[in-house]
Chains A and B, each alone.
Chain A
Amino acid sequence: MTGGIARFIGLAGIAAMAALALAGPLLVGHDPARQNLMASLPPPLSEGHLLGTDHLGRDMAARLLAGARITLSLAAFAVLSAACFGTGLGILAGWAGGITDRLLGAFADGVLALPGLLLVLLLAAIHPNSWWTLYAGLALTLWVEFFRMSRARTRIVVAGPAVEAAQMLGLGRWHIVRRHLWPAVATQVLTLAAFGAATVVTALATLGFISVGLRPPTPEWGVMMAELLPNWREAPWTVMAPVICLAFTVACLRLCAGREEEA
Chain B
Amino acid sequence: MTLKVEDLTVCIGDRRLVGPLGFSVARGEPLTILGETGAGKSLLAQAIMGALPRGLNATGAVLLDGQRLDSLPERARQALWGRRLAMLPQEPWRALDPLMAAGSQVAEVHALIGRTPWQKARSLAEQTLTRLKLDRRAGAALPGTLSGGMAQRVAFAAATAGGAGVLLADEPTKGLDEMRRDEVVRLLADFVAEGGILITITHDIAVARALGGQAMILREGEVVESGVAERVLSAPQSAYGRELVAADPATWPLPESRPATGDSVLRAEALSVARGQRLLCAGIGFDLPAGGRLAITGPSGLGKTSLLDTLAGLIPPSAGRVERLGRARAPFGLQKLYQDPPAAFAPQVSLATSLDDLERRHGLPPDRLPSLLQRLGLAPDLLARRPRAVSGGELQRLALARVLALAPAVILADEPTSRLDPVTQRRVMAVIAEAAEEAEAAVILVTHHATMARHWALEVLDLERNAEVQTAA
A residues contacting B by CB (< 8 A) are 160-162, 164-166, 168-172, 175, 179-180, 183-184
Q: Smallest distance from the beta carbon of A175 to chain B beta carbons, Å? A: 5
Q: Does B276 contact A (CB under 8 A)?
A: no
Residue of A nearest to B399 (CB): A165
Q: Once bound together, how far apart are the Cα atoms of A161 and B419, in whole Å? A: 15
B332 touches A179 (CB 8 A): no
A170 touches B331 (CB 8 A): yes
Q: Does B344 contact A (CB under 8 A)?
A: yes
B358 touches A171 (CB 8 A): yes
Q: Smallest distance from the beta carbon of B336 to chain A beta carbons, Å? A: 6
Residue of A nearest to B405 (CB): A169
Contacts known (A161-B343, A171-B357, A171-B358); A183 close to B348, Cβ less than 8 A:
yes
Write out the residue numbers on chain A whose beta carbons fall within 8 Å of the beta carbon of B331: 170
B361 touches A171 (CB 8 A): yes
Q: Does B334 contact A (CB under 8 A)?
A: yes
| Selected A-B contacts with CB under 8 Å, 13 pairs | A161-B343, A162-B347, A164-B336, A165-B338, A166-B346, A168-B312, A168-B334, A168-B336, A169-B358, A171-B357, A175-B357, A179-B357, A183-B349
B344 touches A162 (CB 8 A): yes
A179 touches B349 (CB 8 A): yes
B332 touches A161 (CB 8 A): no
Write out the residue numbers on chain A whose beta carbons fall within 8 Å of the beta carbon of B399: 165
B344 touches A168 (CB 8 A): no
Write out the residue numbers on chain A whose beta carbons fall within 8 Å of the beta carbon of B344: 161-162, 165
- For the complex with contacts A162-B347, A175-B361, 19 further pairs of A-B residues with Cβ separation under 8 Å are A161-B339, A161-B340, A162-B345, A168-B332, A168-B334, A168-B335, A169-B335, A169-B358, A169-B403, A169-B406, A170-B332, A170-B361, A171-B361, A179-B349, A179-B353, A179-B354, A179-B357, A183-B346, A183-B349
Q: In the complex, how many residues of chain B place their beta carbon closer than 8 angstroms to a beta carbon of chain A?
A: 27
A162 touches B358 (CB 8 A): no
Write the B350-390 contact mask toward A (1 if CB under 8 angstroms, else 0): 00011001100110000000000000000000000000000
B residues contacting A by CB (< 8 A) are 312, 314, 331-332, 334-336, 338-340, 343-349, 353-354, 357-358, 361-362, 399, 402-403, 406
Residue of B nearest to A181 (CB): B346
Residue of B nearest to A176 (CB): B346
Write out the residue numbers on chain B whose beta carbons fall within 8 Å of the beta carbon of A184: 348
Write out the residue numbers on chain A whose beta carbons fall within 8 Å of the beta carbon of B339: 161
Q: Smallest distance from the beta carbon of A178 to chain B beta carbons, Å? A: 9
B402 touches A180 (CB 8 A): no
Write out the residue numbers on chain A whose beta carbons fall within 8 Å of the beta carbon of B402: 169
Q: Smallest distance from the beta carbon of B202 to chain A beta carbons, Å? A: 27
Q: Once bound together, how far apart are the Cα atoms of A179 and B314, in whole Å? A: 22
Write out the residue numbers on chain A whose beta carbons fall within 8 Å of the beta carbon of B354: 179
Q: Smallest distance from the beta carbon of B470 to chain A beta carbons, Å? A: 29
Q: Once bound together, how far apart are the Cα atoms of A179 and B362, in whole Å? A: 17
Helix, strand, loop or mixed for chain A's interface?
A: helix
Q: Once bound together, how far apart are the Cα atoms of A162 and B345, in whole Å? A: 5
Interface centre among A162, A165, A170 (most CB of B within 10 A): A165
Q: Once bound together, how far apart are the Cα atoms of A179 and B358, in whole Å? A: 12
Among all A-B residue pairs, the 3 with the closest Cβ atoms: A183-B348, A179-B346, A161-B338
Q: Once bound together, how far apart are the Cα atoms of A50 and B335, in whole Å? A: 70
Residue of A nearest to B337 (CB): A165
Q: Smallest distance from the beta carbon of A195 to chain B beta carbons, Å? A: 22
Q: Once bound together, how far apart are the Cα atoms of A161 and B331, in whole Å? A: 19
Q: Once bound together, how far apart are the Cα atoms of A180 and B357, in whole Å? A: 12
Residue of B nearest to A163 (CB): B346
Write out the residue numbers on chain A whose beta carbons fall within 8 Å of the beta carbon of B338: 161, 165
Interface centre among B312, B345, B403, B406 (most CB of A within 10 A): B345
Q: Once bound together, how far apart are the Cα atoms of A183 and B354, in whole Å? A: 13
Q: Once bound together, how far apart are the Cα atoms of A179 and B351, in whole Å? A: 11
B340 touches A183 (CB 8 A): no
Q: Once bound together, how far apart are the Cα atoms of A168 and B331, in whole Å? A: 9
B361 touches A172 (CB 8 A): yes
Contacts known (A169-B402, A170-B331, A171-B361); A164 close to B346, Cβ less than 8 A:
no
Q: Once bound together, how far apart are the Cα atoms of A168 and B358, in whole Å? A: 11
Write out the residue numbers on chain B whose beta carbons fall within 8 Å of the beta carbon of A183: 346-349
Q: Once bound together, how far apart are the Cα atoms of A170 and B331, in whole Å? A: 8
Write out the residue numbers on chain B whose beta carbons fall within 8 Å of the beta carbon of A179: 346, 348-349, 353-354, 357
Write out the residue numbers on chain B whose beta carbons fall within 8 Å of the beta carbon of A162: 343-347
Residue of A nearest to B341 (CB): A161
Q: Once bound together, how far apart are the Cα atoms of A219 and B309, in whole Å? A: 63
Q: Smallest distance from the beta carbon of B152 to chain A beta carbons, Å? A: 27
Q: Smallest distance from the beta carbon of B25 to chain A beta carbons, Å? A: 42
A160 touches B334 (CB 8 A): no
Write out the residue numbers on chain A whose beta carbons fall within 8 Å of the beta carbon of B353: 179
Q: Once bound together, how far apart are the Cα atoms of A245 and B338, in whole Å? A: 55
Q: Once bound together, how far apart are the Cα atoms of A169 and B314, in whole Å? A: 13
Q: Smallest distance from the beta carbon of B419 to chain A beta carbons, Å? A: 13
Residue of B nearest to A160 (CB): B343
Residue of B nearest to A166 (CB): B346
Q: Once bound together, how far apart are the Cα atoms of A164 and B344, in whole Å? A: 8
Write out the residue numbers on chain B whose beta carbons fall within 8 Å of the beta carbon of A180: 346
Q: Once bound together, how far apart are the Cα atoms of A160 and B403, in whole Å? A: 18
- Which of these, A164, A170, A172, contacts B314 with CB under 8 Å? A164
B343 touches A170 (CB 8 A): no
Q: Once bound together, how far apart are the Cα atoms of A184 and B347, in whole Å? A: 9
Write out the residue numbers on chain A whose beta carbons fall within 8 Å of the beta carbon of B358: 169, 171
Residue of A nearest to B361 (CB): A171
Residue of A nearest to B349 (CB): A179
Q: Smallest distance from the beta carbon of B269 to chain A beta carbons, Å? A: 23
Q: Once bound together, how far apart are the Cα atoms of A175 and B356, in whole Å? A: 11
Q: Once bound together, how far apart are the Cα atoms of A183 and B345, in whole Å? A: 13
Residue of B nearest to A167 (CB): B314
Residue of A nearest to B336 (CB): A168
Write out the residue numbers on chain A whose beta carbons fall within 8 Å of the beta carbon of B357: 171, 175, 179
Residue of B nearest to A170 (CB): B332
